[in-house]
Structure 1
């Protein structure tokens, strides 16, 4: 067994290690806290001051996407992944219609409920035909094309149109060059495609919607809810019955979402109520005919739910993810945001409909995210935590600067350790407090 080295013969005494460790930790904490404050100035402090000064009403209203525009040079964008570069380069600008909230209704005494979801085309996962790769030479059917990339919508939509542009031959030797930039809705036959001119109408192929013995039909985006109910009650005034079943009419509504409640089925943000004579509807129908009945044959009824027109505050407002129009998480938040909120109906699916926030002085710009309480909590934590760490670290460093000395033997020690002693140093094994 080797003879253990006496502690006094070690190169770095334990007291030196503790003092050096304390100084290094305090310096690192002070530096990192200072860097955090610089970062949080952009991420937390400035957004908080803007939120306080914005005057935005914390009560959400409703927005519907009207168009999503791709821009090469942006003066503003709906969402940027990093706030320091949010206005540079290309971006997507989303415009919305802004309106007050519709009615919240309770569908009471309901039975024979049914749900039917009419799926359109999933733009993210649908197969795309790239004309530049000569994949458009055999296209047959109806295709929605964007900058030379076409998606087959024949099975999901039925399109009615009158006029088309002159044909483009996507087959043959120059087919991929001819169709390299096709954009719009096209009717194709074995690679010969004609662009469909407006006006045209494309409705989803959604069949076998069970309407037998149903007297309430709620359209909610791509979903259709049907039931036989005894009455409809306005939740703002629980005693007010806005409709009672008379056995002759069917109520049709457009609502943000429908869910089961303790007292019945709750329909939130309902607008454009209409009454349809029961004789107009058969036992089974399809989505296209149901939309026709709702918009053409049914009679509006403002007593059940108001019309969208009378609730509208502003058309074509700018939509931003928050007051800055950007996020600093670098977690691809904008990709999901633009996917969900940028649905403007150009792919012939339902338009995005969602809560949003605005200031009562102006509805030119609205934001999708606004939570003043959460923003305040984040501000307090982001301000107090690094500030306290900096203060504690600096006080500790000042204490070390005034109390630690280096002796002639090149060892660090606390000055007051040798007070009243003939030897002016602490024992190497004495504990050293960082404070």
Structure 2
């Protein structure tokens, strides 16, 4: 039998940590930079080229949400959380009316200013009465119910109707079973609810608006601004377009309102001409940007759909906001478009990883040319300590000279 050969225990001497660290850092930087370029191609480079070629006017116009539609299978969506999967699964499609900007106006010499916020129903945060939990047994007022969950809208809306369905008794031993699937608008009295049949009319209710001694009413979303002003002028030309005669009340619909030392001003996009003259397109598609998606994975779409998807179906004010469009193609508009910011992001995303790759590769090439492995299996820069290494051997050196 041949004598077994023992396994050779190779002892690798400790290396110069500085050299190893430089090589590892450069390799890691080069690999991560290449990976980032692949990601940035989808996130930055391609959106930048589309933005340049889109022909979108960088001056914002005004959009008003008309409807928000939930779709199971989408050809397009207003906002997707990840661009690689934006067209798969369910989505929300938001449609808007597109119009030109109005006139910038200044209400001057104003006094007795007041404002009132007419709160609607916040569907997400409003208290919901679950009939299956026997919470509908004492309902009194007007309720909007969806699949057995009812929201009290009595204080926010005043509904006029003629016909109702037979009453349902939500109180008592079998009340929660009787009302488990209530759906629609109901008029309730101590747990006995009648479904309101169409046609009916529900108007927003806003009480205690201080109109006494006011001659100007400015509407902005759910807020009402009131004041007594002497005149209305165009802010750019200072031309007077209205004077207080003591007999008229001026009503304006504004996107934003600022109260300054010179008076109550609406700095941009105020409806002065008629809506028909300003309208550019009806029922246009709204997307958060040119891609209709974001790559931050920070739930941006949730906030976007909450703010821009208000279409007035809950009787609250419709969303109105600045948007951007292409003059020859107004059927699609975007909510975010900033060519300067896009260019800056593109420049940083292009220069930074490119410089890191170039510097890392040059450093690795220099290491290849300047680093050698000696007879003692140690890496060292050429010309550094070569004579000493050949002439001397440290007593603790694991490799002995022959």
For normalisation by structure 1, the TM-score amounts to 0.81
Who is 1:159 aligned against? 159
State the 1:47 CA deviation. 1.1
**1:335 partnered with 2:316:** no
Who is 2:215 aligned against? 215
Give the gaps of 5 or more residues in structure 2: 1-11, 395-402
Superposed CA deviations along residues 349-377 of structure 1, whole A, max 9, x for unmatched, are 11111111111111211111111110110
Superposed CA deviations along residues 59-80 of structure 1, whole A, max 9, x for unmatched, are 1111111111222222222111
- Which whole-Å CA distance do the structure 2 matches of 1:146 and 1:235 have between them? 48
Superposed CA deviations along residues 362-413 of structure 1, whole A, max 9, x for unmatched, are 1211111111110110000011001100111011111112221111110111
- Which whole-Å CA distance do the structure 1 matches of 2:391 and 2:168 have between them? 95
CA contact 2:13–2:376 (8 Å) conserved in 1: no
Which of these residues, 370, 388, 408, is aligned with residue 375 of structure 2? 408
Give the gaps of 5 or more residues in structure 1: 1-9, 272-304, 429-435
- Which whole-Å CA distance do the structure 2 matches of 1:414 and 1:81 have between them? 50
- Which whole-Å CA distance do the structure 2 matches of 1:176 and 1:409 have between them? 86
Question: Which piece of structure 1 moves more, 25-34 or 132-141?
Answer: 132-141
Q: Which residues in structure 2 correspond to 1:184-263 (within 5 Å)?
A: 184-238=184-238, 240-263=239-262
Question: Which piece of structure 1 moves more, 118-127 or 22-31?
Answer: 118-127
State the 1:171 CA deviation. 5.3
Who is 2:400 aligned against? none
State the 1:255 CA deviation. 0.9
- Which whole-Å CA distance do the structure 1 matches of 2:392 and 2:32 have between them? 33
Q: Which residues in structure 2 correspond to 1:14-53 (within 5 Å)?
A: 16-53=16-53
SS for the counterpart of 1:103 is coil
CA contact 2:13–2:377 (8 Å) conserved in 1: no
CA contact 1:130–1:150 (8 Å) conserved in 2: yes
- Which whole-Å CA distance do the structure 1 matches of 2:46 and 2:295 have between them? 13
**1:86 partnered with 2:53:** no
State the 1:322 CA deviation. 1.0
CA contact 1:413–1:425 (8 Å) conserved in 2: no
Q: Which residues in structure 2 correspond to 1:384-423 (within 5 Å)?
A: 384-417=351-384
Superposed CA deviations along residues 4-31 of structure 1, whole A, max 9, x for unmatched, are xxxxxx9525xx2111110000011111
Superposed CA deviations along residues 260-319 of structure 1, whole A, max 9, x for unmatched, are 234321124322xxxxxxxxxxxxxxxxxxxxxxxxxxxxxxxxx211122111111111
For normalisation by structure 2, the TM-score amounts to 0.88
Who is 2:14 aligned against? 12
Q: Which residues in structure 2 correspond to 1:66-215 (within 5 Å)?
A: 66-165=66-165, 167=167, 170=170, 179-215=179-215
- Which whole-Å CA distance do the structure 2 matches of 1:149 and 1:207 have between them? 27
Alpha-carbon distance change, 187 to 112 in structure 1, aligned in 2, over 3 angstroms: same
CA contact 1:33–1:390 (8 Å) conserved in 2: yes
Who is 1:264 aligned against? 263
CA contact 1:417–1:426 (8 Å) conserved in 2: no
Which of these residues, 349, 358, 362, is aligned with residue 316 of structure 2? 349
Who is 1:370 aligned against? 337
- Which whole-Å CA distance do the structure 2 matches of 1:121 and 1:360 have between them? 37
State the 1:138 CA deviation. 3.9
State the 1:328 CA deviation. 1.1
CA contact 2:310–2:318 (8 Å) conserved in 1: yes
- Between the two proteins, the alignment pairs up a number of residues equal to 382
State the 1:233 CA deviation. 0.5
- Which whole-Å CA distance do the structure 2 matches of 1:423 and 1:77 have between them? 69
Alpha-carbon distance change, 143 to 376 in structure 1, aligned in 2, over 3 angstroms: same
Alpha-carbon distance change, 259 to 36 in structure 1, aligned in 2, over 3 angstroms: same
- Which whole-Å CA distance do the structure 1 matches of 2:366 and 2:391 have between them? 18
Question: Which piece of structure 1 moves more, 157-166 or 394-403?
Answer: 157-166
CA contact 1:418–1:425 (8 Å) conserved in 2: no
Alpha-carbon distance change, 180 to 32 in structure 1, aligned in 2, over 3 angstroms: farther
CA contact 1:234–1:241 (8 Å) conserved in 2: yes
SS for the counterpart of 2:145 is strand
CA contact 1:71–1:93 (8 Å) conserved in 2: yes
CA contact 1:417–1:425 (8 Å) conserved in 2: no
Question: Which piece of structure 1 moves more, 400-409 or 410-419?
Answer: 410-419
CA contact 1:232–1:241 (8 Å) conserved in 2: yes
State the 1:140 CA deviation. 2.7
